[in-house]
């Protein structure tokens, strides 16, 4: 009778998995890299430079560095070769000879486009920019160019060097040199402007950090600039001249580029419309030994940044080791962005994690870009991408687990840093689309089991008992208990914590009778999911849910929890994710003494009615309800609402929304906590759907919404809910899973009614639309195995979305039982929900599509269990059956 509000604040295996999947499937805009070498030139460069900026003799020492050792392990795993550098080199040489293009494509996999700085001093040995296009994602993108301004300036000097030294020495040297300088400056302006106007050029790059340092003065002395230029002309054989070295000349080049970017409006006055100013990338921080590290800190650029507030400036390589300075500048200046390339793979894993954390200490993630700084070898791209994804997983998942950032925000961060920020900054106009490859992540396996347990127990007392729970085919909550001392010793010794369970487990009914087709031979392994750890349900106990596996580790098709995981994965394949929140209706009954003819009787609460405050007049009941809320909060389950329902002693407790598997886990654990407290208080808590004939029934309504992008758009949620309605008669075999469930299926009692239909805020409809994709499923009770019920609903809905199922049912605004025949025809209301479990099972058998989605082995076993259970229950007198079920539910 109430909707849920808010979002869960705790990490779950599902949202951690979603984050990891985003890290692995988000396409990359590599905004700073260098061309690869031609096949002939590859042997001329040392492979040891994959992870080191050293050169010459110093490079040989890199084999004892942590980055090198990590690269060996990673390359060996990809190449499937021995775990030595020699084995890796041999395998790479084989790749070069046999499958270089395929290997290059593998190394660059996941890259949407590359922005290439082609200003390295090996132009003749490098592949042209266009050559790289065939190795990026076929998503409409092309590789683009970054112009290195110092290289451009030096090249113009060489071109203009046709004026001979003889001319300069005939007494006209001063005039000639001045004219030559003016010509050089004009040509530099022309080329920079042309580059600004060129769609194939997306930015500029300065290596002044290598030349004279980043402490650029606020202005230039033109007289000194001209003198420096003249000295080059007079003292160099221009064909041998390679680069600018003089401070004033280098600073003039950088200032002039910034001025042209700031002031430029297009060639011959043509405005550049809808395009951002092109940025200047600055090399900062680590580099080869040509660098003066003390002058490479980006903090030296602060004056320059202030001088050109409209010119985008990108600080490359995280400024490492000046990472915090880099993050600071990007955080306080609107035009400054930071890059976190090159540190992958040139810094150790611990260092990379620290760098990412230090950048995020201050810097908004909308100002962070990522690059490989790949060069020469395709393996530089491969290692950078592998290590980045690994470090992002470690740092961001840890942040989510600690509550520093929500999982959706973390996914947004990943997409911004890897793709969207660069796409916007460089005006690339690319469409974002995830990489379509197998990126399924086993839930609960990101951190080790010991790490998950240690994190869970932090700030908690050491428990005595560990419970590993499962819910069987009759929705009996079963468990195995292991003393904590034994459990922790297994973990410390590296031994498995799974438990052998007879394969008869899915052929048992409530009294442990076994269906004829089941056998006590064979064994499954019950694997605890450490990410589902919760405190309770009683003092000294901790609990987690388990999943059944074969000895090989393969999923067991009959495992209810694994089935729900599969339904969630089916939704993820269609780009859908969900939030579910349960309303737990429950009844408190008094236990009668042994002389009574009945075990339970209605709770005596004067004037009890829906939402009244009178029930708090009973201090014993009000204390119990308060204790329930407190105990759940201690287990990190935060109740959203609690109120009285219509029957005497009947209440409703509303849980927060969670992703599907966590939501069901939480529901079952909540019931255990509530039941244990009620028992301790001298009551019996029951979920029986109709415990007393003349009182209101008890349900387990489920709220659900589509939490993925576009979930609240009608084109997304209408076919989804149409799919549920299409299969709803068959779904009731799982949501009304007991013969006693159908005692509650009545019209005009706020119970969801008997008709297959939906209505906005209509509590007499089986599906109540609340707002957008947030709907309530009313045809479910507490005797259902919720893993089965939710899986059936998700499978049906996702198939409806996948096939664009038409919503042929109109919005029913009144009690469906009051519709005329003509009204029902207009609204497409033609079917009624089953009135017996037998009818529901028959509907399920006829629904071949849903049976296929759920799995034929599971549905066949479900039919057998339910028929066997119904035969047993049907043989009981009605009153005996009611009490028998109340003892168990």
Does 395 have pLDDT greater than 60? Answer: yes
Does 829 have pLDDT greater than 60? Answer: yes
pLDDT of residue 721: 93
Write out 126-171 in H/E/C secondary structure.
ECCHHHHHHHCCCCCCCCEEEEEHHHHHHHHHHHCCCCCHHHHHHH
pLDDT of residue 748: 65
pLDDT of residue 6: 27
**Domains along the sequence of the chain with CATH:** 16-138+280-444 (3.20.20.140), 143-202+216-278 (no CATH), 449-556 (3.10.20.70), 564-888 (3.30.590.10)
The count of C-alpha atoms lying within 13 angstroms of the C-alpha of 640, restricted to the half-sphere facing its C-beta, is 17
Quick: pLDDT tens for 710-760.
888 899 999 999 999 999 999 999 999 998 888 877 776 766 678 889 889
**Least confidently predicted of 81-95, 234-248, 489-503, 870-884:** 234-248
Locate 210 and state its tokens.
């290598």
Does 269 have pLDDT greater than 70? Answer: no
Does 271 have pLDDT greater than 70? Answer: no
Does 790 have pLDDT greater than 70? Answer: yes
More confident residue, 414 or 459: 414
Round to whole Å and give the CA distance between 805 and 176: 80
pLDDT of residue 201: 95
DSSP sequence for 377-439: SHHHHHHHHHHHHHHHHHHHHHHHHHTSS-HHHHHHHHHIIIIIHHHHHTT--PPP----S--
Does 166 have pLDDT greater than 50? Answer: no
pLDDT of residue 301: 95
- Average pLDDT of the residues of the chain: 86
Determine which helix (DSSP H) or strand (DSSP E) holds 524, and give its type and residue range. Answer: strand 523-528
Confidence of residue 3 (pLDDT cuts 50, 70, 90): very low
Residues β-bridged to residue 758: 767, 811
Spacing of C-alpha 106 from chain mean position: 24
Triad 305, 311, 315: Cα angle to 5° = 55
Quick: pLDDT tens for 281-319.
999 999 888 888 899 999 999 999 999 999 999 999 999
**Phi and psi based region of residue 295 (left: phi greater than 0; alpha: psi -120 to 50; beta: remaining):** alpha
Round to whole Å and give the CA distance between 730 and 795: 12
pLDDT of residue 573: 79
pLDDT of residue 238: 55
Quick: pLDDT tens for 245-259.
889 999 999 999 999
Query: Are residues 54 and 137 in contact, defined by beta-carbon separation less than 8 angstroms?
Result: no
pLDDT of residue 707: 86
Q: What are the Cα distances from residue 647, in Å, to 587, 588, 615, 692, 694?
A: 8, 10, 12, 9, 9
Nearest alpha carbon to residue 555 among 858, 259, 299, 146: 858
Share of the chain above pLDDT 90, in %: 43
Does 603 have pLDDT greater than 80? Answer: no
pLDDT of residue 10: 40
Quick: pLDDT tens for 799-824.
999 999 999 999 988 888 888 888 88
Query: Are residues 675 and 683 in contact, defined by beta-carbon separation less than 8 angstroms?
Result: no
Share of the chain above pLDDT 70, in %: 91
Does 172 have pLDDT greater than 90? Answer: no
Q: Classify residue 528 as exposed, middle or buried by CB count within 10 Å of its CB (0-12, 13-18, 19+).
A: buried
Quick: pLDDT tens for 173-222.
677 788 888 999 999 999 999 999 999 999 999 999 999 999 999 988 98
Does 493 have pLDDT greater than 60? Answer: yes
Most confident among 394-408, 525-539, 789-803 (mean pLDDT): 789-803
Q: What is the mean pLDDT of residues 775-799?
A: 93
Triad 780, 786, 787: Cα angle to 5° = 140
Residue 404 phi/psi, 5-degree rounding, is: -70, -25
Q: What is the mean pLDDT of residues 310-335?
A: 95
Q: What is the mean pLDDT of residues 96-118?
A: 90
Q: Helix or strand or coil: residue 342?
A: strand
Locate 643 and state its tokens.
């109120």
Does 693 have pLDDT greater than 80? Answer: no
Q: What is the mean pLDDT of residues 562-581?
A: 88
User: What are the residues whose beta carbons fall under 8 Å from the beta carbon of 558, sequence distance 6 or more?
Assistant: 506, 548, 857, 858, 861
pLDDT of residue 372: 94
Residue 378 phi/psi, 5-degree rounding, is: -60, -25
pLDDT of residue 444: 33
pLDDT of residue 116: 94
pLDDT of residue 240: 64
Round to whole Å and give the CA distance between 720 and 716: 7
């Amino acid at each position: 009778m109430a909707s849920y509000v808010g979002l869960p604040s705790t990490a779950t295996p599902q949202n951690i998995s979603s984050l990891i999947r985003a890290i692995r499937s988000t396409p990359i805009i590599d905004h700073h890299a260098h061309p690869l070498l031609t096949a002939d030139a590859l042997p001329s460069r040392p492979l040891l430079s994959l992870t080191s900026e050293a050169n010459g003799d110093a490079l040989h020492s890199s084999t004892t560095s942590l980055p090198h050792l990590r690269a060996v392990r990673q390359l060996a795993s990809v190449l499937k070769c021995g775990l030595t550098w020699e084995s890796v080199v041999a395998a790479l040489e084989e790749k070069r000879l046999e499958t270089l293009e395929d290997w290059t494509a593998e190394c660059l996999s996941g890259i949407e486009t590359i922005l290439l700085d082609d200003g390295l001093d090996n132009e003749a040995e490098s592949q042209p920019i266009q050559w790289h296009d065939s190795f990026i994602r076929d998503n409409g993108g092309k590789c683009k160019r970054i112009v290195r301004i110092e290289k451009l300036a030096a090249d113009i000097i060489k071109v203009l060097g046709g004026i001979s030294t003889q001319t300069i020495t005939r007494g006209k040297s001063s005039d000639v040199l001045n004219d030559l300088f003016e010509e050089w400056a004009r040509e530099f302006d022309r080329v920079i402007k042309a580059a600004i106007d060129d769609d194939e050029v997306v930015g500029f790059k300065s290596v002044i950090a290598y030349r004279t340092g980043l402490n650029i003065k606020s202005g230039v002395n033109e007289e000194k600039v001209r003198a420096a230029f003249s000295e080059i002309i007079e003292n160099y054989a221009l064909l041998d001249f390679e680069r600018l070295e003089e401070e004033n000349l280098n600073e003039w080049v950088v200032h002039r580029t910034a001025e042209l970017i700031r002031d430029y409006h297009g060639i011959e006055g043509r405005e550049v419309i809808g395009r951002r100013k092109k940025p200047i990338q600055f090399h900062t921080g680590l580099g080869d030994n040509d660098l003066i590290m003390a002058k490479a800190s980006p903090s030296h650029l602060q004056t320059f940044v202030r001088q050109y507030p409209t010119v985008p400036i990108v600080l490359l390589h995280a400024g490492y080791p000046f990472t915090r300075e880099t993050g600071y500048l990007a955080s306080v200046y609107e035009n400054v962005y930071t890059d976190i390339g090159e540190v992958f793979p040139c810094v150790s894993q611990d260092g990379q994690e620290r760098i990412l954390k230090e950048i995020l200490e201050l810097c908004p993630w909308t100002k962070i870009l990522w690059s490989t700084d790949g060069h020469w070898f395709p393996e530089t791209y491969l290692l950078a991408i592998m290590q980045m994804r690994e470090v992002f997983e470690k740092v961001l998942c840890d942040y989510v687990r600690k509550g520093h950032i929500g999982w959706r925000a973390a996914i947004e961060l990943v997409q911004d840093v890897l793709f969207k920020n660069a796409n916007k900054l460089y005006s690339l106009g690319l469409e974002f689309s995830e990489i379509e490859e197998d990126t399924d992540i086993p839930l609960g396996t990101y951190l080790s089991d010991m790490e998950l347990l240690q994190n869970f127990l932090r700030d908690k007392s050491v428990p005595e008992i560990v419970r590993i729970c499962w819910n069987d085919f009759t929705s009996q909550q079963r468990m195995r208990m292991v003393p904590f001392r034994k459990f922790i010793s297994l973990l410390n010794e590296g031994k498995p914590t799974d438990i052998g369970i007879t394969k008869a487990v899915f052929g048992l009914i409530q009294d442990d009778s076994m269906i004829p087709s089941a056998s006590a031979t064979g064994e499954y392994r019950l694997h605890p999911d450490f990410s589902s750890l919760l405190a309770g349900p009683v003092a000294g106990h901790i609990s987690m849910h388990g999943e059944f596996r074969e000895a090989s580790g393969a999923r067991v098709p009959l495992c209810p929890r694994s089935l729900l995981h599969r339904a969630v994965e089916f939704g993820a394949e269609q780009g859908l994710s969900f939030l579910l929140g349960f309303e737990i209706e429950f009844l408190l009954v008094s236990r009668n003494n042994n002389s009574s003819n009945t075990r339970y009787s209605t709770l005596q609460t004067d004037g009890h009615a829906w939402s009244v405050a009178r029930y708090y007049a009973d201090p014993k009941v009000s204390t119990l309800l308060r204790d329930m809320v407190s105990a759940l909060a201690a287990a990190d389950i935060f109740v959203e609402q609690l109120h009285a329902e219509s029957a005497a002693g009947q209440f409703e407790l509303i849980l927060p929304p969670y992703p599907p598997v966590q939501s069901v886990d939480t529901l079952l654990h909540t019931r255990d906590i509530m039941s244990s407290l009620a028992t301790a208080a001298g009551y019996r808590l029951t979920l029986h759907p109709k415990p007393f004939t003349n009182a209101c029934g008890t349900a387990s309504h489920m709220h659900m919404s589509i939490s993925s992008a576009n979930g609240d758009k009608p084109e997304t949620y209408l076919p989804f809910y149409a799919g549920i309605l299409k299969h709803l008669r068959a779904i009731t075999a799982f949501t009304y899973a007991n013969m006693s469930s159908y005692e509650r299926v009545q019209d005009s009692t706020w119970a969801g009614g008997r008709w297959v239909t939906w209505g906005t805020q209509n509590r007499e409809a089986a599906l109540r639309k609340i707002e957008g994709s947030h709907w309530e499923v009313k045809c479910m009770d507490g005797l259902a195995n919720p893993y089965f019920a939710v899986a059936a609903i998700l499978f049906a809905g996702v198939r409806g979305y996948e096939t664009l199922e038409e919503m042929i049912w109109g919005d029913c605004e009144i009690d469906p039982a009051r519709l005329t025949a003509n009204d029902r025809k207009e609204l497409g209301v033609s079917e009624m929900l089953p009135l017996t479990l037998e009818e529901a099972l028959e509907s399920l058998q006829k629904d071949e599509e849903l049976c296929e989605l759920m799995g034929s082995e599971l549905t066949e076993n479900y039919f057998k269990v339910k028929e066997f259970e119904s035969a047993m229950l049907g043989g009981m007198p009605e009153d005996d059956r009611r009490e028998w079920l109340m003892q168990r539910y």
